[in-house]
Amino acid sequence: MMHVMDDTIPLPTGFGCHVASIGVKDDTDDFVVIATADPHPASGVFTMSRFAGPSVTISREHLSDRRARGIVIVSKNANVANGPAGLDDANELLTIVADRLGCEPTDLLVASTGVIGRRYPMDRIRAGAAATPTAPGGTDAGAAARGIMTTDTVPKVAARTIGDGPARVVGIAKGVGMIEPDMATMIAVVTTDAEIDADMLDATFRRVVDRTFNCVSVDSDTSTSDTAVVLTSAAAGPVDIAEFEVALEAVCLELTKLIASDGEGAETLIEVRVTGARDAAQAKRVAKAIVNSPLVKTAVHGADPNWGRVAMAIGKCSDDTDIDQDRVSIAFGDTEIYPTRVDDAELERLSTYMRGDEVVISADLGIADGAATVWGCDLTDGYIRINADYTT
Amino acid sequence: MMHVMDDTIPLPTGFGCHVASIGVKDDTDDFVVIATADPHPASGVFTMSRFAGPSVTISREHLSDRRARGIVIVSKNANVANGPAGLDDANELLTIVADRLGCEPTDLLVASTGVIGRRYPMDRIRAGAAATPTAPGGTDAGAAARGIMTTDTVPKVAARTIGDGPARVVGIAKGVGMIEPDMATMIAVVTTDAEIDADMLDATFRRVVDRTFNCVSVDSDTSTSDTAVVLTSAAAGPVDIAEFEVALEAVCLELTKLIASDGEGAETLIEVRVTGARDAAQAKRVAKAIVNSPLVKTAVHGADPNWGRVAMAIGKCSDDTDIDQDRVSIAFGDTEIYPTRVDDAELERLSTYMRGDEVVISADLGIADGAATVWGCDLTDGYIRINADYTT
């Protein structure tokens, strides 16, 4: 299992983490600090939600100089929709941690996920923040990943070496529901010891996020806390930027698939590939319509090769008047099922294929060469149970 | 129960119906013809789907003169995505029925709903169409409503008298899933014996549909067959157009709520009222975001007054940059729950309220006076079961 291996993945050189249980909601780990000894280039992308919380607004502001020393992550409470008090709570949290690390609050980022509309338990937050080591010495990325979980069932960690090394990219992420990123997924923190110019880092990260985190959707709901940041320590020195982007994308893509396959109640990872579109934007729009369709998601859950629902989802993109049903083709796995029709034996084979852990649905629009791939998951009774029973 | 009463609702004067089981899929009624003796003003609105079937394209074409004699409705098979053959099948069906009624095929409309991508069983369609009475004498709107059901659990009929009468408006509808109308809901046929000018009828019907059928969403999926038509017989003579619009809207609204409350697996009707928006369009956009949110739908199913999910759904409308979370207010029933907070006792009372058959969620954006109301339903295990097990 992935999460067993994860335990053995160390953070890049120059990073230390502090993982603790401070009792935000229960006795599981819920407080994580990942930091370097000095400020280094950093970048972040955040939710576009009109109900974005102070964690997002503060981190966006603190990244205006494109440098940071670290990030503080609180799980089990999103600190969203708490008004000015919530903003004060977040700033007080950063002030305490910054004092422990010997830096300015503006050198730190903050992320928080969990229930909306409930204030931090500030007594426990103050005590927990004050217990932050002056020089966090943890190196276990898996422990940090576990510390930011809410309803996640597995910690999400991915790592790659840049070129021949020694520089590495290590990312952790959390998020299983309320996921249709406008700018980033729930919470993803990517760290690297590569030495990279701030502008180059920012441009590269935004390109990669658009091809990875922005292509995952569990339930079409957009989080108020979506945050994806990349932090650097420069400890491993300069790297080839192209090799860095390859490693960064590999890490973000692996985290993206981990998020999709761990979607609330998910039993099957759905990969939707749209080709032949007018452009990449249209391909992504159509792919999202397919991967978000409750009828497509339930068909996958039922192992039913119901291509009619895929056609319906494509048809939903009614503003795309250049989509012509007579030029569209649809495939499950490697088998075209529209307009080509298959016999019952093949349908039975496809049904068996759809009982697997990963189902690939492909659609070609026959317009031009725009393409996009997105990831999601099936819709199951588990999703209903988790979200109908989740208590505010 | 509504559907018991429905059995007693007669069609307006001048309309006759024929309801039969011709074995499209099973032995339930699946073939309905509703017609008048001569062509009269008619109007229709249809799906915007790029995978619209021949029933939609033919009916749209036959309404170009804004007149019709009747409509043929086939259920259990949508006749969608069948290429030129599907178009030929639909035209042959209308030709046979028109021959029986002694009119031109262009005087008739056709609607079809059911599985996508499977051709009509033409042997049975030909035999069934040929058995259409030359003058359909049925008057039971409830029987017609039952004849167009697919996975509907109750027939959907509504009737009103125009002003003091004698003219009436009687409507039937079907549709429980794949419902997020772009132009109309699954299938709705509204009949009236009022004598109304064709242009006036068309303008009035489009206004009413925009406030009713276009405000219902069960699962955000858009049908390839959505059709809503209004037919007149003029048998009851002229009416006051304002009184006609009142009766027409009442009928369409009742059918809209019947559709929402009979959504696949639905246990609770959700009414979302958005006020204080920049304009009606923004209000409708935000209301749809709320009523379509899987997390809001599951919260209602779980009787959880989780206003944070409503805030999240409002926040999803990220293009509406004039939405300011500090000016938004949210209420369940008559109780404001954001920004005003309620105690645990009130939360418990709200949870009890949410166990009812109908839950009203209100949001005021505090921008201007734009308002809109939409209807949907909760998301339950039943929806998963129905759609994961529905066989292509």
> Considering only CB atoms, which chain A residues are within 8 Å of B87?
none
Would the CB atoms of A50 and B317 count as touching at under 8 Å?
Answer: yes
- CA Rg value for chain A: 21
Looking at residues B134-160, what average pLDDT do you find? 92
Task: Give φ, ψ of A103 to 5 degrees.
Answer: -140, 180
Nearest CA among A213, A178, A183, A220 for reference residue A46: A183
Cα separation, A332 vs A353, whole angstroms: 9
Instruction: Please name the residue that has the structure tokens 């069960």.
Output: B218
Q: Of the listed A113, A185, A204, A227, which one is catalytic? A: A185
List the domain boundaries for chain B.
15-262, 269-389
Q: Which residues contact A379 (CB under 8 A, 6 or more apart)?
A: A265, A294, A297, A298, A301, B384
pLDDT band at B178 (very low <50, low <70, confident <90, very high): low
Of A178, A311, A388, the CB nearest to B302: A388
Return the residue in B176, B217, B220, B221 with the most chain A beta carbons within 10 A, the one to mutate for interface testing: B221
Instruction: Please name the residue that has the structure tokens 């499950």.
Output: A332
The verdict on A117 touching B (C-beta cutoff 8 Å) is yes
Would the CB atoms of B294 and A325 count as touching at under 8 Å?
Answer: no
The verdict on A317 touching B (C-beta cutoff 8 Å) is yes
Of B293, B314, B384, the CB nearest to A50: B314
Residue type, A381: D
Cα separation, A333 vs B388, whole angstroms: 19
pLDDT tens-digit series, residues B23-46? 998 899 999 999 999 999 999 988
- CA Rg value for chain B: 21
Distance (Å) from the alpha carbon of B150 to chain A's nearest alpha carbon: 16
Distance (Å) from the alpha carbon of B330 to chain A's nearest alpha carbon: 12
Would the CB atoms of B295 and A387 count as touching at under 8 Å?
Answer: yes
- Detail the residues of B annotated as belonging to a binding site for substrate: 150, 174, 185, 264, 387, 392
Name the token pair of A308: 């009619």
CA dihedral sign of residues A344, A347, A352, A353: positive
Name the token pair of B136: 């359909």
Q: Is the pLDDT of residue B236 over 60?
A: yes
Report whether B58 contacts B105 (CB < 8 A): no
What dihedral do alpha carbons B90, B92, B98, B101 form, nearest 10°? -100
Size of interface A-B (CB pairs under 8 A): 193
Predicted TM-score (pTM) of this structure: 0.81
Cα separation, B351 vs A40, whole angstroms: 49
Q: Which residues contact B64 (CB under 8 A, 6 or more apart)?
A: none
Looking at residue A185, its pLDDT comes to 47
Q: What is the DSSP letter of B134?
A: S
Distance (Å) from the alpha carbon of A348 to chain B's nearest alpha carbon: 12
> Considering only CB atoms, which chain B residues are within 8 Å of A51?
311-312, 314-315, 325
- Detail the residues of A annotated as belonging to a binding site: 150, 174, 185, 264, 387, 392
The verdict on B348 touching A (C-beta cutoff 8 Å) is no
Task: Provide the CA A338 distance to its chain's centre, in angstroms.
Answer: 33
Name the token pair of B150: 């697919």
Would the CB atoms of B312 and A116 count as touching at under 8 Å?
Answer: yes
Would the CB atoms of A385 and B381 count as touching at under 8 Å?
Answer: yes
Query: Which residues of B are marked as active site?
Result: 185
**Fold (CATH) for A269-389:** Ubiquitin-like (UB roll) (3.10.20)
| A392 class by beta-carbon count within 10 Å (0-12 exposed, 13-18 middle, 19+ buried) | middle
Distance (Å) from the alpha carbon of B344 to chain A's nearest alpha carbon: 11
Q: What is the DSSP letter of A165?
A: S
Q: Which of residues 127-186 of B touch A (CB under 8 A)?
A: 177-178, 180, 182
Q: Which of residues 29-88 of B touch A (CB under 8 A)?
A: 48-52, 78, 80-81, 83
Residue of chain A nearest B177, judged by CA positions: A295
Q: Is the pLDDT of residue B213 over 90?
A: no
Strand partners, A373: A273
**ipTM of the complex in this document:** 0.79
User: Measured at the alpha carbon of residue A269, what is the angle toward residues A268 and A270, in degrees to the nearest 5?
Assistant: 110
Query: A15-262: which CATH number, 1.10.10.10, 3.30.565.10, 3.60.70.12, 1.10.3470.10?
Result: 3.60.70.12
Run of H or E residues at B146: helix B141-147
Would the CB atoms of A295 and B387 count as touching at under 8 Å?
Answer: yes
Q: What is the mean pLDDT of each successive set of 10 residues along chain A, which is 392 residues long?
A: 57 96 92 96 88 92 96 92 93 98 97 88 97 96 92 89 94 76 63 95 93 78 77 95 95 90 86 96 94 90 90 88 93 94 92 94 97 91 78 48
Would the CB atoms of A48 and B318 count as touching at under 8 Å?
Answer: yes
Q: Percent of chain B beyond pLDDT 90?
A: 67
Would the CB atoms of B81 and A390 count as touching at under 8 Å?
Answer: no
pLDDT tens-digit series, residues B259-316? 888 887 888 999 999 999 999 999 999 999 999 888 899 999 999 998 988 998 998 8
Mean pLDDT taken over chain B = 89
Task: Please state, as a whole number, how many other Cβ atoms lie within 10 Å of the Cβ of residue B76.
Answer: 22
> Considering only CB atoms, which chain B residues are within 8 Å of A313?
221
Instruction: Please name the residue that has the structure tokens 């981190």.
Output: A59
Higher pLDDT, B105 or A3: B105
Cα separation, B87 vs B182, whole angstroms: 23
Strand partners, B375: B216, B271
Looking at residue B222, its pLDDT comes to 64
Cα separation, A59 vs A43, whole angstroms: 10
Looking at residue B106, its pLDDT comes to 97
